[in-house]
Amino acid sequence: MFLYPVGEVFFVRVILHCDMNSFYASVEMLYQPHLRTVPLAVGGDEEKRHGIVLAKNEWAKARGVKTGEPLFQSRQKCPQLVVVPPHYDRYHRISHMANQIYRRYSDRVEPFSIDESWVDLTGCVDSFAEGVQVAEQIRRTIEQELGVTVSIGVSYNKIFAKLGSELKKPNAVTALPPSALQTIIWPLSPRALLFVGPVTEKKLARIGIHTIGDLANAPETTLRSLLGKWGHTLHQYALGHEYAPVAYWGESPPVKSIGNSTTLPKNLMHADAFVPVVYMLCECVAERLRLGHLRAEVLHLWLRDADLCSQTRQIQLGAPTQVSGRLAKACFRLIHKHWDGAPIRSIGIQVSQLSFEKDAYQLSIFSQKEQKNAELERCIDDLRHRFGHWSIARAVTLQDTQLKIDPLEENSLHSVAFRKGVL
C-alpha cells in the first residue's frame, strides 16, 4: 500500500511538507533585527481598515494575537504590538531561495503556497528513517542559510505530511510513518486534515464523529449523504489512502479555479453597499478568465462578517462565461437568497468548472449578446493594460474612493485556501 514504483524498483514513499514558521513576520525580523524581541504583526492599512493580521511572531502569539483578526482587536489584547506593512518582494525572494534548497534533495518540489512546499524523497533515500534525517538537514540548512525557521512533516502521503508539519511548531521535524496511523493520527480532530474547516467539523460532530479515527471507521454511505463527494474523499484521507503525486519543480498543474477577495474599508450594512464591491471583484475575476482564455460554469461567493464568521455559497451559471456582468448577477442572487443581514467585513468571489474558449458548448438565444459583452470587456482589458486598472471603471465602483484598490494584483484568492474555507 505504501510502496511507490521508480522504474522497476518499488520504494517506500517518503513525502515532506515544509512550512516556514510565521513566514511574513520572520522575514520582517530578518530585515529588521530589532523587531525580534517585541510583539510583531504584519498587517494591512489600518486607516483604510484593510487591517487584519497576516502573520505574527511568537511574542505576539503568546499574547493572544491571531492570524486573520482585525488589528484593532489585536491591539486590545496587546497594546505594545508593533505592526509593519507587508513586503511581498522580500517574501517571494526568500520563498524562492527555500525551494532551491529543497531541490538539492529532489526534483519533485511542489509549492503549496508562498511559505509551504511538498518534497518527494521517494527513490532519493533508502528508508523512511533516512528521509527523517534529510528533513533534519533541510531544517538546519534553512535556518543557517536563510535566517528563518521551518517545520517539516514526514509521512507516506501529502495529506499526512501536511498534518505532521502542523503538529510541532516552530522549527521542528515530525515523522508520521504508517505505524502512526492509529496511534497518533486517529486520535486527532478532523480539523487536522487538510480541507476540513469549521463547517465540516460541526457537521461531523452532529453525527458523533469527533476524531479522524471516527471518520475512518464511519460508513462511507453516511459520509456521502452528509458531505457529498467530499465524504468519500475525507474518508480515504482518514484511512491513509491518499496517493496524489508531488509535482516536478516548474510543473504547472491545470488551473481549476480563479478568484479574488478583499477586506473592506468599512462593513457592508445593507444590500446596496454590495454593488460596487461585487462589480469590482467580478471584473477582476472576469479579466483573469479572459487572460487565460477560459470560461467558468460555477460561481462561489464567500462572506466573512464582523465577528470573523464565514459562509460560502455557490451557484451554477447556466452556460460557460467570462463576462463580469453575468458573474455579478449570479453574486447578487446568492446575496439576496443567503445573506442574513450581518455586517460584512470581507468578501471573496471565485469561479470553477473552467473550460477553454475554444471548447464547444451549448449556445442559447442570448449567446449573441454574451459574445458582444465579452468583446466589449476585452477592449476594456486593453485600455487597462495600457493605462492602468483604474483608467476606466464602472461608475458604480467610484461611489467610495476607499474602494479604489487593485484586487487584480493584490488580492488574488488562493484556490486551496478558498476551498478549505468552503468546507
Do 75 and 195 share a domain, yes or no?
Answer: no
Question: Is residue 355 assigned to a domain?
Answer: yes
What pLDDT score was predicted for residue 359? 61
CA 373 to CA 218: how far, in whole Å? 50
| CATH code for position 247 | 1.10.150.20
Question: Which residue matches cell numbers 542559510?
Answer: 145
Backbone dihedral angles phi then psi of residue 416, each to the nearest 5 degrees: -70, -40
DSSP state of 353: E
Question: Is residue 416 assigned to a domain?
Answer: yes
CA 191 to CA 171: how far, in whole Å? 22
Do 395 and 261 share a domain, yes or no?
Answer: yes
Do 324 and 359 share a domain, yes or no?
Answer: yes
Strand order in the sheet with 109-113: 109-113, 116-120, 15-20, 150-155, 173-176
Closest residue by Cα to residue 164 from 156, 155, 135: 155
Do 73 and 36 share a domain, yes or no?
Answer: yes
Task: Please give the radius of gyration of the chain, using alpha carbons only, rounded to the nearest integer.
Answer: 23
Contact yes or no for 25/61 (Cβ under 8 A): no
From 67, 88, 109, give the residue that closes a domain. 88
Do 408 and 309 share a domain, yes or no?
Answer: yes
Q: What is the pLDDT of residues 100-114, one digit of tens each?
A: 999 999 999 999 889
Residue of 8 and 85 predicted with greater confidence: 85
Question: Is residue 408 assigned to a domain?
Answer: yes
Do 240 and 281 share a domain, yes or no?
Answer: no
Do 263 and 380 share a domain, yes or no?
Answer: yes
Question: Is residue 373 assigned to a domain?
Answer: yes
Do 225 and 264 share a domain, yes or no?
Answer: no
1: confidence class by pLDDT, cuts 50, 70, 90? very low
What pLDDT score was predicted for residue 278? 93
Question: Is residue 8 assigned to a domain?
Answer: no
Question: Is residue 217 assigned to a domain?
Answer: yes
406: confidence class by pLDDT, cuts 50, 70, 90? low
Do 315 and 191 share a domain, yes or no?
Answer: no
Q: Give the residue-averaged pLDDT of 382-386.
A: 83
The residue count of the chain comes to 423
Q: What is the pLDDT of residues 248-298, one digit of tens each?
A: 998 866 677 888 888 777 788 888 889 999 998 999 899 989 888 889 999
Do 185 and 275 share a domain, yes or no?
Answer: no
| CATH code for position 399 | 3.30.1490.100
Catalytic entry in 116, 283, 370, 377:
116
Mean pLDDT of all residues belonging to the chain: 86
What pLDDT score was predicted for residue 422? 36
CA 401 to chain centre: 28
Do 75 and 189 share a domain, yes or no?
Answer: no
Question: Residues near 395 by Cβ (< 8 Å), separated by ≥ 6?
Answer: none
Question: Is residue 12 assigned to a domain?
Answer: no
Q: Which range is most confident: 139-153, 191-205, 224-238?
A: 139-153
Q: Model pTM?
A: 0.73
Domain count, the chain: 3
Do 271 and 414 share a domain, yes or no?
Answer: yes
CA 264 to CA 351: how far, in whole Å? 21
| CATH code for position 81 | 3.40.1170.60
Residue 62 is part of which domain span?
A: 23-88
H helix runs in 147-185, sequence order: 158-167, 180
From 220, 252, 284, give the residue that closes a domain. 252
CA 395 to CA 392: how far, in whole Å? 9
From 61, 88, 115, give the residue that closes a domain. 88
Active site residue 116: yes
Which range, of 37-41, 64-68, 126-130, 190-194, averages the lowest pLDDT?
Answer: 64-68
Q: What is the pLDDT of residues 208-249, one digit of tens each?
A: 999 999 999 999 999 999 988 889 999 999 999 999 999 999
CA 410 to CA 345: how far, in whole Å? 17
Which range, of 2-16, 183-197, 200-214, 371-385, averages the lowest pLDDT?
Answer: 2-16
3-class secondary-structure state, position 186 = coil
Question: Is residue 317 assigned to a domain?
Answer: yes
What pLDDT score was predicted for residue 364? 53
Closest residue by Cα to residue 57 from 46, 80, 41: 41
